[in-house]
Chain A
């Protein structure tokens, strides 16, 4: 694995790790109704998957978690450290790893299946599916059971607790898909898709 990583790959990984950090700490958007401010953190994850492809996106998120683990306040609300990973929301952070991979893999696969030039709408549809299934649902698939076990609550309650994030994640998936489509059209050779 490590021997096939070029300098270009390393700069992509580092840039999307810092991009995700920036999205995590720029002023959050207060959401109507939802009692948690929305940060753009998972937008970083979705864009990493869509632009970088599965391998580099996974490594970029692993680096993001490593930097958070060491104690640099790169998570939303400037949290960090081991205790965050052990806490009730730790599963969502670990879910970033398969989440980024699935997003990247699905985006890549939809491009391969299309065989040849795709219209903007087709690229957007593929990106949107990948961002929702990878960037949102895969992250939930790890985070929700984790939340239920750590907080000792039934799965149904854990799902309800997380439901408030879903509208925000759908909006972020729409934005990520749109931006990644524009980037794919403007810079077709970027990343490792």
Chain B
């Protein structure tokens, strides 16, 4: 969930927020995400976005702009969504959507930047333990899938970007299947490699 900025992601930096437990941060994120969606006022959302930007900056250290240049598409996504809303529902609603989006994004980035994925997995596992006692789910496996997904999102974004550039270089950027077939093929191949790596490393008792 670092949106393609590896150096910021793989090492959660020490900061005031990294001393909080992962469970607390995830719980706060749930509450905040819900609140941001319920608020419908551009001013309050704007202030929330600014505040969350401040929080994220304070835990993230210097921003690597070279890395961020690779995720320009994120700005494109935001622009397209906001201008759509602006065109069909007016400027007020567009500002609501823009600020809500930024507030959520910075909040999630702040949590990711200050929490190692393993801590997040432990928090998910702890939260699911009651369900595990009833035999509904295996908390260790859900936690592994959860952490794996968070780690894989930036990897998959980069993979999509690479395939797009490779196909554009061949002059076939417009055809969706030309992007999607290699995307799926690489994804499936990655599943084989990852499963082998997991089996080789995670031979712990609670995972069996």
Contact = CB atoms under 8 A, between A and B. Distances in A.
Interface of A: 1-3, 5-8, 10-19, 21-22, 25-28, 30, 35-37, 43, 47, 51, 59, 63, 66-67, 69-74, 76-84, 87, 175, 178-180, 182-183, 186-187, 190-191
Interface of B: 1, 26, 29-30, 32-38, 73-74, 76-78, 80-81, 84, 88, 97, 100-101, 104-105, 107-108, 111, 135-138, 141-142, 144-146, 148-150, 152-153, 155-157, 160, 176-177, 180-181, 183-185, 187-188, 190-192, 194-195, 198-199, 202
Given A69-B30, A87-B37, A15 B97 contact: no
Given A5-B138, A8-B192, A78-B101, A71 B184 contact: no
A91 B145 CA distance: 24
Contacts, number: 181
Of listed A1, A43, A80, residue having the most chain B CB within 10 A:
A80
A78 B100 CA distance: 9
A82 to B, nearest CB: 4
A12 B156 contact: no
Contact of A190 (B137, B142, B188): B188
A80 B33 CA distance: 6
Nearest to A50: B184
B119 to A, nearest CB: 14
A72 B108 contact: yes
Contacts of B191: 8, 11-12, 15, 190
Given A10-B141, A63-B146, 20 more contacts: A11-B195, A13-B145, A14-B144, A17-B145, A18-B156, A21-B149, A22-B156, A22-B160, A26-B160, A35-B88, A37-B81, A63-B145, A66-B142, A71-B32, A77-B101, A78-B104, A78-B105, A81-B34, A179-B180, A182-B177
Contact of B77 (A16, A25, A35, A183): A25
